[in-house]
Structure 1
């Protein structure tokens, strides 16, 4: 009995001392090699799980509690929302020496003015992908999605703000509108689009295009990049009404049990050579100024990843809509149940 007791005590001690990190991130958003090399370098094991929308992530954090994860990756306006709701830890930047590598143009944005709660991970856009083998007309506008010839043939992100954003842009409004009448107009415009919608989907969009399940649709630029890498007929464009821009950021939820490990992980991701691997593999732009010097020419000059000023005309960064959020939620629910 004494030997069994000693053995069990040793096992419990080993588990208690295990260095672990729980990461909750978007699908197809972190190369496996990055996680493996982090563990190799630090001894910290990464327990990794994914979500497909900010809403899904937020709902889970609110339901099961933020203590289940150590690092999550919300988009712009959700950083603002979650910090206001006291769901995020204020970051100790003294433990983030690689913070200095970040491009200052991507810091101190309105959703987190001093970057007290968030560190940019990647930034990108939501535009239109289409299969040139299946589409004959010129694709240059969000309005193309409404064409009758695409009945049951388009993909929309399973993302409330982004879907409403494209209708708002077509109507000439800001994608960050807080005006209930404008939001209702956008809902009515989206109702007209429903016959063309084959799916609301955000998880692994590249595969939908590669399988020719849809002809065109809205999607994240990185998914467009990865699909194009496998099939050159799949194109990604910035609509003339403006793309939807976002920064996805690394944050530590309130109640996280492994804060020092989380900070070590964030600091690791801010290494220029690590950020380079991420950008080249998943097709999103790095916020790391020093990484741009290291990128291969193909990635650096690929406008799907690094757009020029002309590509971004009329584009907007997503912001928190505050008290207008329930208005969006009401019409989103109606849209999805039509």
Structure 2
């Protein structure tokens, strides 16, 4: 009888653990990228809690997921080139489209991209551009029209660059007239040498709410993502967001389920919730990043929907370039990136 009772207790304890795991989704997302109200509403509607944590670079997210063997999290938000790498390395779980009825609201222009044909492993979350932030109280915007202008002496020790290897190298490559996705060792080396010449002008690398440094006056110029630029302008109207003549960076962050997710059911429910037009609209209105959700965009107020900082013109987009996976060349990028940040 005692053994039977003990066995029953063990089964009960196991069931409780399974239930607790099923009632929680572990969500690993970019910093400053989701209003708390969204998670509160999700839990209120579904009863599923969300354990939320953040990162400030694709590299940090990828390294942690590799270390955990694609376990530890149920939902992550990699950018284009990391979706490509992670699906090829078996780090992502194929999505069950039948469980995502709100997928139909997504704009087809943002689907079926080369980094994930058919969106088998990911759905777009937010997208946007990388350009130049400039405080017009200190710098004349008429004198700044491209990335190359950031090398000028007046910016000495004054610039902010994203703490993002590929974003920064894309600047060096585009200034030299190359693709931001070059895999040519000579071109990557030239970009490194060019960026070394920029380092005396760089004050800080920051991808964690960089708009704070602009608003507080600690930084007056540098790289910025368009959503951060929009929020900077709301608090510091003297700032402008410039699309560089060499072409801006284009990016898309995507919802994906790690291969070792403990609660893929809950992850699918959260993805579908985030794809709901009213929720996607709330996210866009709060973060000030562009939504790939066509119905949500239609619901946005005109001052957001028609604002070129959030939704650039077709001409600007044609000159822009998405960051894609560079295969084995990433080792070379990483090597030079470490040298660059170490001042070598």
TM bucket normalised to smaller: over 0.9
| Per-residue Cα deviation, 1:108-162 (whole angstroms, up to 9, x for no partner) | 1010011110100011111111111121352221012111011110000111111
Asked if residue 111 in structure 1 is aligned to residue 115 in structure 2, the reply is yes
| Per-residue Cα deviation, 1:241-277 (whole angstroms, up to 9, x for no partner) | 1000011000000110000000000001111111101
Aligned to 2:61: 57
Instruction: Give the drift of 1:66.
Output: 2.0
Asked if residue 282 in structure 1 is aligned to residue 287 in structure 2, the reply is yes
SS of the counterpart of 1:312?
helix
Aligned to 2:190: 185
Asked if residue 236 in structure 1 is aligned to residue 238 in structure 2, the reply is no
Asked if residue 95 in structure 1 is aligned to residue 106 in structure 2, the reply is no
SS of the counterpart of 2:94?
coil
SS of the counterpart of 2:145?
coil
* Within-5 A mapping of 1:43-192: 43-138=47-142, 139-192=144-197
Aligned to 1:23: 27
Instruction: Give the drift of 1:11.
Output: 8.2
SS of the counterpart of 1:30?
coil
Asked if residue 336 in structure 1 is aligned to residue 338 in structure 2, the reply is no
Instruction: Give the drift of 1:189.
Output: 0.4
RMSD across aligned C-alpha pairs, in angstroms?
1.8
Instruction: Give the drift of 1:12.
Output: 7.5
Q: Which of residues 258, 280, 295 in structure 1 aligns to 2:300?
A: 295
Aligned to 1:251: 256
Q: Is the 8 A contact 2:134 2:141 kept in 1?
A: no
Separation (CA, whole Å) in 2 of partners of 1:15 and 1:323:
41
Q: Is the 8 A contact 2:159 2:219 kept in 1?
A: yes
Separation (CA, whole Å) in 2 of partners of 1:21 and 1:313:
38
Separation (CA, whole Å) in 2 of partners of 1:261 and 1:252:
10
SS of the counterpart of 1:225?
helix
Q: Is the 8 A contact 1:79 1:118 kept in 2?
A: yes
Q: Is the 8 A contact 2:153 2:201 kept in 1?
A: yes
Q: Which of residues 211, 216, 225 in structure 1 aligns to 2:221?
A: 216
TM-score when normalising by structure 1? 0.95
Q: Is the 8 A contact 2:29 2:53 kept in 1?
A: yes
Instruction: Give the drift of 1:64.
Output: 2.8
Separation (CA, whole Å) in 2 of partners of 1:12 and 1:93:
30
Separation (CA, whole Å) in 2 of partners of 1:131 and 1:14:
56
Instruction: Give the drift of 1:311.
Output: 2.7
Q: Is the 8 A contact 2:76 2:257 kept in 1?
A: yes
| Per-residue Cα deviation, 1:203-253 (whole angstroms, up to 9, x for no partner) | 110101011111200111111111111111122111111000011000000
| Per-residue Cα deviation, 1:45-72 (whole angstroms, up to 9, x for no partner) | 0100000000011111112332110000
Q: How many residues align?
A: 335
Aligned to 2:36: 32
Aligned to 1:319: 324
| Structure 1, unaligned runs of 5 or more | none
Separation (CA, whole Å) in 1 of partners of 2:332 and 2:166:
11
